[in-house]
């Protein structure tokens, strides 16, 4: 439908009432609506991605229809529109339409226009630019909630496209109703409704929308799936609702994926808690899919990235108890020895820990370390917070201890726990430091009993930080 923008002369309240009445059956069990209602008081401004097409126009109307009484959600909501500038005047008219649409509904309008994009830009490249624009604008207004108009046809198209790329369960689970990306929540309330159902409701309400002429071309893989593959599938099996059936299968894939992820995360958590996280042994784990997920999670926690081919080689070697070495994208080497997986640096770590030093009952004076560097302790008075703030934690730390308490000093061990400054729960130093772990080898760790007080390069442990009204503390100096 070509946008003449006539419906903007109507009554928005009547339109929203009609939309709500006609769409109610699709949203009775919406997880997105439950999320919005349950978090209404703590959500910042809500943003709605709107291209002007039928899906995003319907999405915006549905949001306003269902949440107009939730003042905390509706009053600061914004429509986001990015003009990719690929279709000249048509793109410009889309932007004008969305701007009038936002004004008609009383929503904020935030837009951007790109310089002329290349006609050869892939769908993934355009999507990346679009999401980048959304994220930037959302951060500027303090929003972390984005509504997207993906519907059931998009689910079917995405699943078919990802099957052609041999995606795993995680990839086949896209798009998700509720998704957390870089600290922002993406919500897709329309996954239970098909495009033709959306457009039928809009027609009944007398609502216009914009049509992207490029959707008819075969320049993009998604258009081929949409305009050719799915239509031919429906012709081949007219007794089935192909779109709805693929979407129903997608729901089961998402549920299965979630269950397996929970098992994998639980396994990783137990490994962390028992101190065996530096090695991975999954021979006893039931099922190849769960083994695959656990390996994915292990690599993610270790900040290690592998090419897909290298990942498959490594997984096969670990499962079959074969010895192998593979190279990660950032230079790390991973070694599988008799079914146990470790990073090559872990072999060096183990040797360092075996040969590590430990000085106990350190109560005063200067301590000379094996590499010639020194640690000193001195009991000092504290006059104001300025002293603490100016302290360089790479070289010094003020620790809340009595002057006569003994400490021990040992070589750096990444598997020990540490309570970071400002945090309450302990985490292993390997997790805290990530790739920076290797920079700490050779540095000392200062402990009281079995508890780490300080590692040069980290702020003092929260367990030993100087509290208010404390006027004396132990100063540790590393040089």
146-170, pLDDT tens digit by residue?
999 999 999 999 999 999 998 989 8
List phi, psi (to 5°) of 46. -90, 135
Closest CA to 428 of 455, 408, 401: 455
Under the banding of pLDDT at 50, 70 and 90, the label for residue 300 is: confident
Domain final residue, candidates 350, 367, 385: 350
Does residue 44 sit in the same domain as residue 190?
A: yes
- pTM listed for this prediction: 0.69
> What confidence score (pLDDT) does residue 327 get?
87
List phi, psi (to 5°) of 398. -95, 125
Is residue 114 scored above 60 in pLDDT? yes
> What confidence score (pLDDT) does residue 354 get?
47
Does residue 346 sit in the same domain as residue 422?
A: no
The count of C-alpha atoms lying within 13 angstroms of the C-alpha of 233, restricted to the half-sphere facing its C-beta, is 17
Under the banding of pLDDT at 50, 70 and 90, the label for residue 57 is: very high
Under the banding of pLDDT at 50, 70 and 90, the label for residue 353 is: very low
Between 86 and 110, the more confident residue is 110
Under the banding of pLDDT at 50, 70 and 90, the label for residue 1 is: very low
Within a domain: residue 260? no
Under the banding of pLDDT at 50, 70 and 90, the label for residue 296 is: confident
Own/partner pairs, 9-13, CB within 8 angstroms, 24+ separation: 10/206, 12/64, 12/104, 12/105, 12/106
The token pair that represents 467 in the structure block: 């509290």
Does residue 57 sit in the same domain as residue 140?
A: yes
Domain final residue, candidates 321, 350, 379: 350
Is residue 110 scored above 70 in pLDDT? yes
Does residue 47 sit in the same domain as residue 175?
A: yes
The proportion of the chain whose per-residue pLDDT surpasses 70, expressed as a percent, equals 91
Within a domain: residue 256? no
Q: What average pLDDT score do residues 74-86 get?
A: 91
Is residue 291 scored above 60 in pLDDT? yes
Q: What average pLDDT score do residues 254-261 get?
A: 92
Closest CA to 306 of 329, 336, 333, 335: 329
* Parent domain of 126: 6-248
> Within 10 A of 129 (CB to CB), how many other CB atoms are there?
16
List phi, psi (to 5°) of 338. 55, 45
The token pair that represents 239 in the structure block: 């007794």
Q: What angle do CA 111, 114, 117 make, to 5 degrees?
A: 145
Does residue 290 sit in the same domain as residue 235?
A: no
Is residue 118 scored above 70 in pLDDT? no
Does residue 342 sit in the same domain as residue 195?
A: no
Supply the DSSP string of 386-406, one letter for each residue. Answer: HHHHT--TTTEEEE---TT--
Q: How far apart are CA 195 and CA 309, in angstroms?
A: 37
Q: How far apart are CA 219 and CA 224, in angstroms?
A: 8
Matching residue, tokens 């009445």: 21
The token pair that represents 410 in the structure block: 């040992």
Does residue 100 sit in the same domain as residue 227?
A: yes
> Does residue 362 sit in helix, strand or coil?
strand
476 conformational bin, left if phi > 0, alpha if psi -120 to 50, beta if neither = beta
The proportion of the chain whose per-residue pLDDT surpasses 90, expressed as a percent, equals 46
Number of domains making up the chain: 3
Q: What is the pLDDT of residues 189-240, one digit of tens each?
A: 999 999 999 999 999 999 999 999 999 988 889 999 999 999 999 999 999 9
> What confidence score (pLDDT) does residue 66 get?
93
In the predicted model, what is the mean pLDDT of the chain? 86
Q: How far apart are CA 478 and CA 460, in angstroms?
A: 13
Name the packing angle between helices 195-204 and 54-67 (round to 10°): 70
Please give the C-alpha separations between residue 118 and each of 61, 84, 320, 354, in angstroms, as whole numbers.
32, 10, 48, 58
> What confidence score (pLDDT) does residue 278 get?
59
Does residue 307 sit in the same domain as residue 413?
A: no
Cα distance from N-terminal residue to C-terminal residue, the chain: 74
Does residue 149 sit in the same domain as residue 187?
A: yes
Name the packing angle between helices 152-164 and 242-273 (round to 10°): 70
């Amino acid at each position: 439908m070509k946008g003449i923008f006539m419906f903007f002369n109507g009554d928005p309240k009547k339109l929203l009432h009609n939309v709500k009445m006609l769409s109610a059956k699709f949203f009775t069990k919406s997880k997105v609506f439950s999320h919005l209602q349950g978090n209404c008081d703590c959500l910042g401004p809500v943003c709605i991605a709107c291209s002007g097409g039928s899906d995003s126009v319907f999405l915006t109307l549905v949001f306003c229809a269902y949440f107009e009484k939730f003042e905390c959600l509706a009053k600061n909501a914004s429509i986001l529109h990015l003009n990719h500038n690929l279709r000249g005047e048509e793109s410009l008219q889309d932007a004008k339409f969305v701007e009038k649409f936002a004004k008609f509904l009383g929503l904020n309008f935030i837009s951007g226009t790109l310089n002329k994009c290349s006609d050869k830009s892939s769908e993934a490249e355009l999507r990346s630019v679009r999401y980048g624009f959304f994220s930037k604008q959302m951060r500027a207004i303090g929003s972390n909630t984005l509504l997207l108009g993906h519907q059931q046809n998009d689910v079917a198209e995405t699943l078919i496209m990802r099957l052609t790329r041999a995606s795993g369960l995680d990839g086949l689970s896209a798009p998700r109703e509720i998704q957390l990306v870089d600290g922002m929540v993406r919500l897709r309330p329309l996954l239970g409704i098909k495009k033709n159902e959306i457009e039928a409701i809009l027609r009944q309400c007398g609502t216009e929308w914009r049509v992207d002429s490029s959707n008819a071309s075969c320049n993009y893989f998604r258009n081929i799936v949409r305009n050719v593959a799915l239509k031919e599938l429906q012709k081949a099996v007219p007794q089935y609702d192909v779109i709805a059936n693929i979407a129903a299968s997608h729901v089961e894939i998402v549920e299965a994926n979630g269950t397996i992820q929970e098992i994998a995360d639980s396994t990783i958590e137990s490994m962390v808690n028992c101190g065996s996280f530096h090695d991975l042994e999954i021979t006893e784990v039931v099922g190849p899919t769960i083994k695959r997920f656990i390996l994915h999670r292990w690599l993610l926690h270790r900040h290690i990235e592998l090419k897909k081919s290298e990942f498959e080689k490594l997984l096969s070697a670990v499962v079959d108890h074969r010895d192998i070495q593979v190279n990660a994208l950032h230079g790390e080497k991973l070694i599988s020895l008799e079914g146990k997986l470790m990073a090559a640096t872990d072999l060096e770590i183990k040797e360092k820990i075996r040969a590590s030093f430990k000085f106990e009952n350190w109560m005063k004076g200067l301590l000379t370390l094996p590499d010639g560097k020194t640690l000193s302790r001195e009991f000092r008075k504290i006059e104001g917070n300025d002293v603490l703030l100016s302290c360089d934690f790479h070289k010094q730390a003020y620790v809340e201890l009595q002057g006569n308490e003994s400490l021990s000093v040992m070589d750096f061990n990444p598997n020990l726990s540490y309570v970071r400054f400002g945090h309450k729960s302990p985490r292993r130093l390997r997790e805290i430091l990530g790739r920076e772990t290797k920079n700490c080898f050779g540095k000392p760790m200062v402990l009281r009993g079995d508890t780490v007080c300080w590692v040069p390069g980290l702020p003092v442990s929260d367990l030993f930080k100087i509290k208010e009204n404390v006027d004396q503390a132990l100063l540790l100096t590393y040089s």
